[in-house]
Amino acid sequence: METQLNQFVIQPADRMQGLPTQFFAKLVAKANAQVAKGRDVINLGQGNPDQPTPSHIVAKLQEAAANPLYHKYPPFSGYPFLKEAVARRYKEDYGVELDPASEVAILFGGKTGLVEISQCLLNPGDVCLVPDPGYPDYWSGVALAGADMAFMPLKEENRYLPDYKAIASEHADRAKLMFLNYPNNPTGAVADSTFYAETVDFAKRNGIVVASDFAYGAIGFDGRKPVSFLQTPGAKEIGIEFYTLSKTYNMAGWRVGFALGNAEVIKLINQIQDHYYCSLFGGIQEAAALALTGPQQCVADLRDLYERRREALFSALEEIGWRAERPGGSFFCWLPVPKGYTSESFSDLLLEEADVVVAPGVGFGTQGEGYVRLGLLTTEERLREAVQRIGRLGLFR
């Protein structure tokens, strides 16, 4: 008599089915396949800083790692000295006063907070206003909360800023949260104080919490310093800002970020994190505090490095006839694809025929179709070489 065994099947939760596809995982796989063939691939498609963390910050971590205090669990919401350090940096850089105890939350990198805030504020059926194109992890948090997204088109003719007058009243009425990101990923656009004043007015009238993603806040070009949303009168009443050390100090792998601003929202973020984490390793917190309060010349040097790379790239682009506007901030460049191509087919062509990786704009939203994103995250020589390879394809004559 045969016994038939039932196959055990793992049944994922419904929320796993609702998560957006990680578009850039496919991009990485394509690039890695070319590298595996022995090709000399120039990868301009990712946003991973290529410079090391400044040595004085590394040395502080090495010293702090030997402190037995940090071998124990840290306080759930982090050490007060790190919150005080970021409050001091915001005061010095932007003139923004923050109460370290109630208006600062320590995050496992900015990405974590950008996902958590949707879970803190949104219920199924609520609407989140999301920039298009925009950082795809905004979508992830909204999906995990079971809420809906309404996209705000970012168009070149409007300097890649959302047009609040064009937002449908049904979306504005249902919206509880809105993401903004300047300097912008992927377009490199910057926002000014006038735009943020309009944002505060729109958010107050419609009861919407603003989440300003200020990850590239230290990287502004042409002598213009990016504006913090929190500098706007009334901003802390209706929103928060996310800041990270990843780009400012080349600390992407250290996973240090902050949520700053409205005390009620900060309390919610700390509350949800109490159920997930027990804060960062104390040695990292001490090194992060030094980054914020120590010498800042490394930040100016990094900004100058990116600006030189930007100029090298755009000088080379002009030589091959690829016309685009220089970014005002961030380390990304947003370039139109030639006629006859989609953003993805053009990206595939550059990888296959020129061994150059760029990010298809459609991966950032439907409004990204017709563009590709390039990162300034390799040397000037490699940037020029990448453009020369593309130029040999004869697409811009």
Output the pTM of the full model: 0.94
Give the pairing type, strands 356-357 and 42-43. Answer: parallel
Confirm if 388 and 316 have CB atoms less than 8 A apart. yes
Domains, the chain, with CATH or none: 14-52+298-391 (3.90.1150.10), 73-293 (3.40.640.10)
Nearest alpha carbon to residue 266 among 78, 104, 96, 75: 104
Nearest alpha carbon to residue 95 among 195, 212, 215, 235: 235
Confirm if 387 and 320 have CB atoms less than 8 A apart. yes
Looking at residue 4, its pLDDT comes to: 61
Looking at residue 1, its pLDDT comes to: 52
What's the Cα-to-Cα distance from 382 to each of 10, 11, 367, 376, rounded to whole Å?
A: 47, 47, 29, 10
CA separation for the pair 81, 287 (Å, rounded): 11
319: which 2 tokens? Answer: 């030589």
Residues 6+ apart with CB under 8 A from 167: 129, 150, 152
Look at the chain and count its residues: 397
Residue 306 C-alpha from the chain's centroid: 17
134: which 2 tokens? Answer: 């925009």
CA separation for the pair 245, 179 (Å, rounded): 20
Confirm if 149 and 128 have CB atoms less than 8 A apart. yes
Nearest alpha carbon to residue 20 among 123, 138, 102, 160: 138
Looking at residue 2, its pLDDT comes to: 54
Nearest alpha carbon to residue 83 among 256, 273, 277: 256
Phi, psi of 288 (to 5 degrees): -65, -40
CA separation for the pair 364, 331 (Å, rounded): 16
Phi-psi category of 110—alpha, beta or left, where left has phi over 0 and alpha has psi -120 to 50?
alpha
Question: Helix H segments across 355-393?
Answer: 380-391
Tokens 């992060």 belong to 288
Looking at residue 207, its pLDDT comes to: 97
Spell out the per-residue pLDDT of the chain, length 397, in tens.
555 667 888 888 888 888 887 777 888 888 899 889 999 999 999 889 999 999 999 999 999 999 999 999 999 999 999 999 999 999 999 999 999 999 999 999 999 999 999 999 999 999 999 999 999 999 999 999 999 999 999 999 999 999 999 999 999 999 999 999 999 999 999 999 999 999 999 999 999 999 999 999 999 999 999 999 999 999 999 999 999 999 999 999 999 999 999 999 999 999 999 999 889 999 999 999 999 999 999 999 999 999 999 999 999 999 999 999 999 999 999 999 999 999 999 999 999 999 999 999 999 999 999 999 999 999 999 999 999 999 999 999 7
Question: Helix H segments across the chain?
Answer: 14-17, 23-36, 55-64, 80-94, 110-121, 137-145, 169-174, 193-206, 235-238, 245-248, 263-274, 282-293, 297-320, 343-354, 380-391
Confirm if 187 and 327 have CB atoms less than 8 A apart. yes
Looking at residue 5, its pLDDT comes to: 63
Bond prior to 133 in cis (omega within 30° of 0): yes
What's the Cα-to-Cα distance from 109 to each of 71, 180, 251, 257, 279, rounded to whole Å?
A: 21, 17, 10, 4, 11
